[in-house]
Amino acid sequence: MIMEFYILNKLFDVVGVIDTYISAIWTERYYESGDFEIYLPMDSDILNKVQKHFFIVRMDDTTKCGVIETIKISQSADGGDKLLISGRNLSSILSRRIVWKQTTYSGKVEQVCRNLVKDAFVSPELSSRMVDEFRLGAEKGFDDKVRVQYTGDNVEEAIQNLCKTYKLGYKVWFDVSDKHIVFEMYKGVDRSYDQEENPYVIFSEQFENLLSSEYTSDDMEYKNVAQVAGEGQGTARKKVIVGAGYSGLNRFETFVNASGVSTNDGEVDEISYNNLLKQQGAEALADLSTTESFDSEVAPNYNYKLGVDYNLGDIVEISNQYGISISTRVTEIIESNDESGYSYIPTFAVDEN
């Protein structure tokens, strides 16, 4: 496979094509925005067609779209002049908005994320915040529920924290048919030994589809108990504890400053307010959980094909020759094209409870 690209202007009109380059790297992530970079010999025609905040769209899958954020020209007497075009994928545009005023959201996590996008891009109260091309995709009906309060939070960070806590993915993709930007949630499919509904996907040296791997288990940032402090001063400050059953040397504590969460002078009752604080603690602990991951290079066309047998966000089984075998989620996929050909490297990470 060879990755080729369209260059789109801010009106989503095609203004150029990139089909010859030295290397191209395209990274997709489950819980956050991916990124890309295209490295090519200096080309004045391409340079005249790329601008910051223009778009790069993959020809093989036009839903995959990136925003050009960096244009770099390198000059060298030995190797010739080079052009580097890089940026993040389309979901990064969520970072352009904040929660404009204090807002409490409650209900299903999917609906909360959709409302964050709706209030910031699709139908905001302030018309200058609206993006006419933005649409909400189909609801998937995920059942997890949440109650959160935001004031000035970055929309992308708010959605990322919810996704990490509830093991959901989100994507912002380009609908080439009508030039719309679409936001939707999704959830990876379980293809591990822990279930019996879907065909298994197993990566290991035994099956000769794991070319190399690097296993990491890291507790450097690990915490399991959070003291969350909300509004108030001194001993009158409202506090909750998140995390139970940990004691002695097995207890790892952290403090979460949630002073921005407000009762609005009693409008929010005590139970609801404590639940808001607990959500802040749950999100903090999700970021401070054990890091357990496999960085692996798999054989692209051996047993399983990316996009057919498994996808970003799916849970698969992976094992190495040292007897480590775990059910792990595909959290990142790095695709690369260069003089050596096409390859991809998935990163597998274990979901923490």
**Three-class secondary structure assignment of 326-337:** EEEEEEEEEEEE
Span 270-296, pLDDT tens digits: 999 999 999 999 999 988 988 877 777
User: Which pTM value belongs to this model?
Assistant: 0.84
**What pLDDT does residue 150 have?**
93
Q: Rounded distance, CA 112 to CA 114, Å? A: 5
Residue with tokens 């960096």: 70
pLDDT at 67 > cutoff 90? yes
Q: Is the pLDDT of residue 352 over 70?
A: no
Alpha helices in 185-292, H assignment, sequence order? 270-287
Mean pLDDT for the chain overall: 91
Residue 245 has pLDDT above 70, yes or no: yes
**139 pLDDT exceeds 80?**
yes
DSSP labels, 106-154: EEEHHHHHHHHHIIIIIS-SSGGG--TTEEE--------EEEEEESS-B
> CA-based Rg of the chain, rounded to a whole angstrom?
23
pLDDT of residue 28: 96
Confidence of residue 9 (pLDDT cuts 50, 70, 90): very high
- Distance from C-alpha of 235 to C-alpha of 241, rounded to nearest angstrom: 15
Residue 100 per-residue DSSP state: -
- The average pLDDT across 115-144 equals 96
Q: Which pLDDT band holds residue 330 (cuts at 50, 70, 90)?
A: very high
Tell me the C-alpha distance between 134 and 121, whole Å.
Answer: 7
**Mean pLDDT (whole number) for 58-68:** 95
Which pLDDT value is given to residue 316?
A: 93
| Tokens representing residue 254 in the block | 């952290």
**194's torsion region: left (phi>0), alpha (psi -120 to 50) or beta?**
alpha
